[in-house]
A and B are shown apart, each in its own frame.
Chain A
Amino acid sequence: MTTTTTGTPAATGAVGAARTRLEGLAKVTGAARYAGEIPFAELAHGWLVLSTIARGRIRAVESAPVLAMPGVLAVLHHGNAPRVDGDYTGPLGAPDPVLQVFQHDRVPYVGWPVALVVAETPEQAREAAEALVVRYDQEPHEAEFSAGHPDRYTPQGSDSPAETAKGDLAAALAASAVVVDARYTTPEEHHHPMEPHAAMARWEGGRLEIVDSNQGSGFVAQELAHLFSLDPASVRVRSEHVGGGFGSKATRPHQVLAAMAATVLQRPVRVVLTRRQMFSLVGYRSPTAQRVRLGADADGRLRAFAHHAESVTSTVREFVERSADMGRVMYDADAHHTLHQVVPLDVPTPSWMRAPGEAPGSFALESALDELAEKCGMDPIALRARNEPESGPVSGLPFSSRQLQACFREGARRFGWAERDPRPGRRRDGRWLLGTGTAASQFAARAAPSTAAVTAEADGDFTVRITAADIGTGARTALTLVAADALGVPPERIRMRIADSDFGPAMIAGGSMGTRSWSWAVMAAAGELREQLALGGVIPPQGITVRSDTTAAIAALAATERHAFGAQFAEVAVDVTSGEVRVRRMLGIFAAGRIVNPLTARSQFIGGMTWGLSMALHEEAVRDRASGATVGADLAGYHVAAHADVPAIEADWVDDPDESDPVGIKGIGEIGVVGGAAAIANAVWHATGVRHRDLPIRPDRVLRAGDGGRPGS
């Protein structure tokens, strides 16, 4: 049975009331089992060997001595691996070539998989992997990104154009009373969920079974079926608890390798990535070089807008970090130009990382707005209010809702913005210079087709099955509240089952689309089930099940600009003698549709803002030009914000109803990251009078700026 109507929500008040996580008890007692923690009889352990050169060919994999080591069962490499088919279009397009493990001898970057050692124990596998000698024919490589690289090009073939243009930019800039022309850079950044990627594969009853840590078991199952030329129904992927993802937990080499080894050895095999291996195998955020040009009248009204963004792609797969997309939504001008260009290098393929595009893009754009406010002698919030567009600046479509100014008003009130002296370098607290800054946040509110099944059980409870993923977002709990309201029963009567590809196709936890997309499917199935039950009758022992598929409903959704918005505020303290920057407080006010669970929503917003802080001050992966590898590829060399870095952060929201939307839920997983780094950078300017246009704002950069040197690089 298929339905795409949501029926009338039968609110019991579950949605909107704070509720602790369903799996909370399991998480605080250590009982929650993640992918690498489920025991299997006869389990073998795979350990990956990665390339140590950035470009060339594998001449030899000297596996004989390693095969003689205790416990070693197999060494898989390009000379003996079974065939993997990469010629398909999967749920996310053509597969990343790194998934076609061991199919040829070419090495396109440091950290490319060259062998998998499988042994009886992890210790044996690790020692053998470290002992394995791989010989290469090395070729010259290039791994260093820089602005204006001669090999940069404008990508084609994306679902969203790389370039948009209207009006005469040069003329509009020339006619502007005030012009900002500024260049910004952001470094390579890595996801690093706390749980490393892990997968167990085995053949069970004629099916390939994977216990994994991922953001969408359905997508992973589809990819594996393609790669191993299997009937989709013969692959089952489960992912009950996931220790963070942030975009990195898609189909990655570890699932493919576990499946390959389990097939070769005919026994269960687990492959767990090491923290170091995660630097090259699971994607990362490309470094960016951005130029923003703004031309305005003396009163701040924009006449010219241009945002050009360059980023890295690999030589094996094109990935575009869409940093210039945000301006297509935020600000209009007579002349409006956005452009993405990429530079192919001998490096791992970048990928989506929490708030892809918007995170680095908002740093440049919202910093530039602050610079324009300074030049116009305007308050930065007033400048943004003056430039509120009536409709989508590029699309011309109306906004379904746009509560950006309400966010700024509420945020300014709570932050105490009115008392701010706009002049920089005026406040001091001992050795610290103090400053405050603000920036806007935005993230698209999209939805993708999903299916769900809701069963009225004979005992009076309800079971919901959906291939959703709870990667720490609280999705399991949120969907329970949504189902409870849709069925008109208390949440205690809902049994929520997620993260099993056998439950049918559904969107992944990504693009801030998970809860919105899954809730839609759950509401559709629950609504129809409720109508059926209203007719009366006895529930048979197997229950009554209604399935939904939102494909048609989503396709029928009116074309509008649907986004969540927000305003972020930061106060920083800068010690110009040590160069240290401390964030003292942050406040984020968001307009993100219906908030399902205030407790976990607040956590997600604050988590995103913590990422913004981490991006502003700490995160920077340094790639060595000579080797092409990441320097200090561990959590000491790649610092993410720790407890001591993170001050009191508050997040709250304003009402953001959208009567035209069937679910009214917008995603909240990413918007917290957007604008945070700009708010902090703007606050550093306010404290010191120096603009920092290169992230992170390291002590040495602050010091050089203080010496009268340029803040750059």
Chain B
Amino acid sequence: MAPPTSSAITLNINGEKHTLPVDHRTTLLDALREQLDLTGTKKGCDQGQCGACTVLLDGRRAVSCLQLAVAAEGRVITTIEGVADGERLHPVQQAFLDLDGYQCGYCTPGQICSALAVIEEHAAGWPSAATADVRPEAGVPELSAEEIRERMSGNLCRCGAYVSIVQAVARAAEEAAQPGASSRPWQADGPGEPGAPADGEAVA
């Protein structure tokens, strides 16, 4: 008998468990869009080059087009639909809205998911290629515009909204740094200690 080409899996998305049959070829992106009607996650290139499909897997950003749905079982998945706290927008979303951090809006969910992770990664002390001093004792670098640009570079925007996206991320990061600010309505515990991504994970 030929091995099965589909399986029933359970995905933990935005705090809800979804059990669904998936073709083994199905990417997490296509499972979200085609089977679960979670179309906020966008397909821009389907080969990990544009960042439009960025979601959070266990709090870390990943391009969902390079992730097979069957491999996402057991992970805590956050999509753009799970970013707001009910009717209350996340500060990153509010900043994109207020500062016009988009035009056509198609890259926006990926930009926002990346921005959430960027703010967390930075707060956790992760350096970037733009960080002047990467020694641990140098501490957390200032989240300058240059740092934001470097860290957001996995997310293309063809309308050319980068200038206001960077302003939006900076504003949201400032708000997140305020005492008592809650920037993490989703379930994961954030990026944790700096380190290599988990096996098979495509970091945007």
Q: Is the CB of B161 within 8 A of A39?
A: no
Given the complex, which residues of A lie within 8 Å of B89, measured CB to CB?
A: 25, 28-29
- Given contacts A123-B25, A610-B162, A640-B158, are A474 and B104 in contact (CB under 8 A)? no
5 contacts between A and B (CB under 8 A): A20-B100, A28-B94, A30-B39, A194-B158, A644-B153
Report the Cα distance A122→B29, complex, angstroms: 12
Given the complex, which residues of A lie within 8 Å of B79, measured CB to CB?
A: 30
Q: Is the CB of B105 within 8 A of A23?
A: yes
Identify the closest chain B residue to A243 (Cβ). Answer: B106
Given the complex, which residues of B lie within 8 Å of A604, measured CB to CB?
A: 103
Q: Is the CB of A244 within 8 A of B109?
A: no
Report the Cα distance A635→B65, complex, angstroms: 14
Q: Is the CB of A244 within 8 A of B158?
A: yes
What DSSP secondary structure best describes chain B's contact surface?
loop
- Given contacts A30-B40, A607-B160, are A474 and B25 in contact (CB under 8 A)? no
Q: Does A204 contact B (CB under 8 A)?
A: no
Identify the closest chain B residue to A45 (Cβ). Answer: B34
Which of B41, B105, B166 sits near A643, CB closer than 8 Å?
B166
Total chain A interface residues with beta-carbon distance under 8 A? 63
Report the Cα distance A37→B33, complex, angstroms: 7
Given the complex, which residues of A lie within 8 Å of B159, measured CB to CB?
A: 194, 244, 472, 603, 607
Q: Is the CB of B81 within 8 A of A194?
A: no
B52, B96, B100: residue with the most chain A Cβ atoms closer than 10 Å: B100
Q: Is the CB of B104 within 8 A of A472?
A: yes
Q: Does A418 contact B (CB under 8 A)?
A: no
Q: Is the CB of A193 within 8 A of B104?
A: yes
Given the complex, which residues of B lie within 8 Å of A31, measured CB to CB?
A: 40, 81
Question: Which segment, of B42-50, B177-185, B186-194, faces chain A?
Answer: B42-50
Q: Mark A657-698, 1 if CB is under 8 A from B, else 0.
A: 000000000000000000000000000000000000000000
Given the complex, which residues of A lie within 8 Å of B150, measured CB to CB?
A: 643-644
Q: Does A622 contact B (CB under 8 A)?
A: no
Which of A20, A272, A471 sits near B97, CB closer than 8 Å?
A20
Q: Does A33 contact B (CB under 8 A)?
A: yes
Given the complex, which residues of B lie within 8 Å of A552, measured CB to CB?
A: none
Known: A193-B106, A472-B104, A646-B162. 8 other contacts (CB 8 A): A30-B80, A195-B44, A243-B104, A275-B44, A275-B46, A603-B103, A607-B159, A636-B49
Given the complex, which residues of B lie within 8 Å of A244, measured CB to CB?
A: 103-104, 106, 158-159
Report the Cα distance A438→B38, complex, angstroms: 46
In the A-B complex, the 9 residue pairs with the closest CB atoms? A30-B40, A243-B106, A472-B104, A610-B160, A607-B160, A27-B105, A472-B103, A30-B80, A37-B39
Identify the closest chain B residue to A193 (Cβ). Answer: B158
A39, A194, A611: residue with the most chain B Cβ atoms closer than 10 Å: A194
Q: Is the CB of B50 within 8 A of A635?
A: yes
Q: Is the CB of B39 within 8 A of A33?
A: yes
Given the complex, which residues of A lie within 8 Å of B153, measured CB to CB?
A: 642-644
Interface set of B (CB-CB < 8 Å, partner A): 23, 25-26, 30, 33-34, 37-47, 49-50, 52, 79-81, 83-84, 89, 93-94, 96-98, 100, 102-109, 112, 130, 145, 148-150, 152-153, 155-166
Identify the closest chain A residue to B41 (Cβ). Answer: A30
Q: Is the CB of B163 within 8 A of A648?
A: yes
- The smallest C-beta distance from A479 to any residue of chain B, in angstroms, reads 16
Q: Does A274 contact B (CB under 8 A)?
A: yes
Given the complex, which residues of A lie within 8 Å of B80, measured CB to CB?
A: 29-30
Identify the closest chain B residue to A470 (Cβ). Answer: B104
Report the Cα distance A193→B169, complex, angstroms: 23
Q: Does A599 contact B (CB under 8 A)?
A: yes
Q: Is the CB of A472 within 8 A of B155?
A: no
Q: Does A91 contact B (CB under 8 A)?
A: no
Q: Does A34 contact B (CB under 8 A)?
A: yes
Report the Cα distance A34→B81, complex, angstroms: 15
Q: Is the CB of A29 within 8 A of B40?
A: yes
Report the Cα distance A24→B101, complex, angstroms: 10
Q: Does A634 contact B (CB under 8 A)?
A: yes
Q: Does A568 contact B (CB under 8 A)?
A: no
Given the complex, which residues of B lie within 8 Å of A25, measured CB to CB?
A: 89, 97
Identify the closest chain B residue to A473 (Cβ). Answer: B103
Q: Does A196 contact B (CB under 8 A)?
A: yes
Report the Cα distance A643→B153, complex, angstroms: 5
Given the complex, which residues of A lie within 8 Å of B49, measured CB to CB?
A: 275, 634-636
Q: Is the CB of A194 within 8 A of B157?
A: yes
